[in-house]
Structure formats: C-alpha cells, structure tokens
Chain A
Amino acid sequence: MALQATHRDAGPVTVVDLSGRITLGDGSALLRKTIRGLLADERKKILLNLADVDYIDSSGIGELVSGFTAVKNQGGDLKLLQLTKKVRDLLQITKLYTVFDIYSDENSALGSFH
C-alpha cells in the first residue's frame, strides 16, 4: 500500500500519522517531503506515528535517519510512536532502536518533548 501521511498539532508537537509502506520511491519521498515541510514551517518537535506502517525497506530506514538528523540539526526532536513488530525488529537488528526515542503510548511521547 502506498504511504499516506497526515499531520496534526498537539501543542508544540506535530504528530505525523503514517500508514502504508515506507520504501524506495514514493514512500520515502513523501516522508522526506513531510518532514522538510514541517521544518520549513518551524515545526521542529515531530512525533512519527508508525502504528499503521507495516513495512520499511533500507531506503525507508535511510529516510527515517535522514529526517532524524535534519530535525536534530535544526535544534528539534524527532521521535517514533507505536512501532509494528516488523518495524521494531528491523530497527533492532540495524541498531537504530537505541538511536531513536521510541514510545508505545502517545501521551507519554508527547510529554517527553521539552
């Protein structure tokens, strides 16, 4: 399924609800465009909700890392919410599970932004 992205504001944090596959091509491009668009709007506290993302390839992983770095470089924070098992396993074997700040509960995630 092609990636879909919508975003909503929760105070100073922007929650991006993603669904579908983050893969080479349109999926990775949409994630990049979404994060870069938020940064351009000075929205630098970003929570990516991956509850409905059931598949990520190496290109998608690269885009998550790219977004994370871009947000950090602008003094912001990008965190992940509600990973599916496949995505969690993928981040664990690539050792990125320790790089990203990951939450299973949205309120806890929102409260973690400073």
Chain B
Amino acid sequence: MASDDKHLEITLETQVESVNLAEEMCLRVAEAAGFGEDDCYRIGMSVREGVINAFHYGNQERPEKKIHLALDITPEKLIIHVLDEGTGFVLADVPDPLAEENLLSTSGRGIFLMRAFMDEFDVVKGRNGGAEIVMSKKLPAPDGNSENGKGGK
C-alpha cells in the first residue's frame, strides 16, 4: 500500500443492522473522497448489497460468524472488500437475473446491482475460505468533470 493510500476496516456482526451501518460508513467515506450524489448512491447501494450477500448467503445468517468490510482509497480509486465466513461461491455459477426465467425471482439481484453500479467487480476466495467481494470506483477528477459524475445529482 502506498504511503498516501488510506485504509479503513471494520468487523460487523451477522445481523440486519450491519447492512445499514456499512452503507452509512461507506457513504461518509465516499462523500469525503469527493464523489458526487449519484456515485455515492451507487457506492452505498453496492456496499449494502455486498453486506446483504455476506449476511444471507455467505454467513447463512449465523450470528457467530462475522462480516469483514475494508475500504482502501488510493490516488485513483475507492476499493471496497466485503469478506464473509462462508464456504465461498463461483461468480460464474450465479444465475442471470435478467434471464426470462429469472425475472420473477424474489432474490438474486445483488451481484447484478454491484456489477452495474461499480467500475470493477470480482469475487475471490477469501483468506478464511469465504467469499471476498472486491469492487472499486474511480475517484472523481479534481476539476469535477469526471465521467463518474462528480457533483452529479
């Protein structure tokens, strides 16, 4: 990690309240990093979906398991890691929620939303065997004319 990078991490309980907590924390970081309103919404939603995924699918809503959230701000981008204590999953195995047969499914849209709202998205095997979501968004340009909507509504 370069000297001007910033790193923040928090361990969350496997409970519904952690979803709001993670979203609020990341929104503050994103605002402080200079992201506009539109991008803050997308980042907040993506963190929310990442933690919901860890809470529900990864940790199976088991309270003895933890959710590990980490944020890195480099000169180029905000990187978000969400790590669960489950058994992991293969991204390619996740059903496409836009497929005709899945349109009326009541779940399975979280990964899709994170992919849609962030610039980079991947799922890797975590250090403890769980799934680690890694996603990032480019920081807005200092002149406020970034393609990422700095100052957007």
Contacts and interface: CB of A to CB of B under 8 A. Distances in A.
B97 interface: yes
A95 B108 CA distance: 13
Counting contact residues on chain B (CB < 8 A from A), the size range is: 20 to 34
Closest 9 CB pairs of A and B: A62-B106, A58-B109, A25-B16, A58-B110, A66-B106, A62-B107, A95-B98, A65-B106, A57-B48
Nearest to B99: A95
B105 A58 contact: no
B61 to A, nearest CB: 11
Counting contact residues on chain A (CB < 8 A from B), the size range is: 20 to 34
Contacts, number: 49
Contact of B109 (A25, A66, A68, A94): A94
Contact of A65 (B20, B48, B104): B104
Contacts of A95: 98, 103
B45 interface: yes
